């Protein structure tokens, strides 16, 4: 799940990015509205965490641009502004939720799950294929009821492929979901992640096969 974090407090942004990355998210961080506008035009995000007090204006002013996207992601406002009137203003402007600073990461994760459910943004029910089961809400995989521990990128790759099981997922779409602006993957990076995930699924006897279509993408199915 790729998230855009718009936050000018460096210490908070670094901590949030690290915490979300450890939980399997791909997080792109920008410190102002100008860079945020460029980011939403360049990449497809599944959620936006948006501060209100930014160096070049109120984060709320970004909401119309987000809502104008072909598939607009849910937006959670992150701010120290705790007045009820300001929360109402943000929600009325188009935000999906509002989280006052300081907050715990577990509450943020719960709110991300909630806005995804409300907006139908991605599967929230467990996904099953063969003996493999994946819980998108808690980002946990298991085979035959036993936990399958995967690095965050392999977990994100599994998530994406299972959502489209039986269909070809193009390389460009996978790379856009797995890698942020700062990652700069090499030409064979995705292939290496697929190879490692395929090996883990085989070793665990998941009954799941990942097929490669050279130059096009990948397809996952029971096998």
pLDDT digits (tens, 9 = 90+) for 84-118: 777 788 888 889 999 988 899 999 999 998 887 76
**At residue 121, does pLDDT exceed 60?**
no
- The tens digit of pLDDT for each residue in 142-165 reads 999 999 999 888 998 999 899 899
φ/ψ of 112, rounded to 5, equals -60, -45
Domain spans in the chain, listed from the N-terminal domain onward = 2-119, 127-222
Give me the pLDDT at residue 116, please: 78
Where are the extended beta strands (E) located within the chain? 2-6, 26-30, 47-51, 53-54, 57-58, 75-79, 97-100, 127-129, 132-135, 140-143, 146-147, 169-170, 208-213, 217-222
What's residue 221's pLDDT?
A: 94
CATH, domain range 127-222: 1.10.10.10
pLDDT for residue 113 = 85
Residue-by-residue DSSP string for 8-70 = --HHHHHHHHHHHHHTT-EEEEESSHHHHHHHHHHS--SEEEEESEETTEEGGGGHHHHHTSS
Question: To 5 degrees, how large is the angle CA 208–CA 45–CA 126?
Answer: 35
Answer yes or no: are the C-beta atoms of 174 and 157 closer than 8 Å: yes
pLDDT on residue 120 = 56
- Report d(CA 182, CA 199) in Å as an integer: 27
Task: Report pTM.
Answer: 0.74
- Of the candidates 200, 218, 203, 223, the one whose C-alpha atom is nearest the C-alpha of residue 161 is 218
Assign 65 a pLDDT band (cuts: 50, 70, 90): very high
Topology adopted by domain 2-119: Rossmann fold (3.40.50)
Residue 68: φ, ψ to 5°: -80, -5
What pLDDT score was predicted for residue 183?
77
Residue 14 token pair = 């670094």
Does 36 have pLDDT greater than 70?
yes
| pLDDT, position 64 | 94
- % of residues, the chain, pLDDT over 70: 96
Per-residue pLDDT at 215 exceeds 60: yes
How much is the mean pLDDT over the chain?
Answer: 89
132-145 pLDDT, tens digit per residue, is: 999 887 788 999 99
Return the SS3 of 152. helix
Q: Yes or no: say if 105 and 19 are a contact pair by the CB < 8 Å rule.
A: yes
DSSP-derived letter for residue 72 is P
pLDDT at 70: 87
pLDDT at residue 82, rounded to an integer: 64
Summarize the confidence of residues 57-76 as an average pLDDT: 93
Q: Which residue has the higher pLDDT, 144 or 215?
A: 144
Rounded CA separation 46/43 (Å): 10
Mean pLDDT of 18-35: 92
List, for residues 172-209, the tens digit of each pLDDT value: 889 888 888 877 677 788 999 999 999 999 999 999 99
DSSP bridge partners of 44: none
């Amino acid at each position: 799940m790729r998230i855009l974090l718009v936050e000018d407090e460096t210490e908070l942004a670094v901590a949030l990015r690290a915490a979300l990355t450890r939980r399997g998210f791909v997080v792109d961080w920008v410190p102002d509205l100008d860079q945020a506008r460029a980011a939403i035009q360049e990449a497809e995000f599944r959620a936006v965490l948006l501060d209100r007090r930014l160096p070049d204006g109120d984060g709320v002013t970004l909401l119309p641009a987000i809502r104008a996207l072909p598939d607009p992601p849910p937006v959670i406002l992150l701010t120290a502004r705790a007045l009820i009137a300001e929360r109402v203003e943000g929600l009325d402007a188009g935000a999906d939720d509002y989280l006052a600073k300081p907050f715990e990461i577990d509450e943020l994760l719960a709110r991300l799950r909630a806005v995804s459910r409300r907006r139908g943004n991605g599967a929230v029910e467990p996904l099953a294929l063969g003996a493999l089961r994946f819980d998108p809400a808690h980002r946990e995989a298991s085979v035959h009821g036993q936990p399958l521990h995967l690095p965050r990128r392999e977990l994100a790759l599994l998530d994406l492929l299972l959502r489209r099981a039986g269909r070809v997922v193009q390389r460009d779409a996978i790379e856009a979901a797995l890698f942020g602006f700062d990652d700069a993957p090499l030409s064979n990076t995705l292939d290496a992640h697929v190879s490692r995930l395929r090996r883990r699924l085989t070793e665990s006897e998941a009954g799941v096969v990942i097929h490669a279509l050279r130059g096009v993408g990948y397809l996952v199915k029971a096998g």
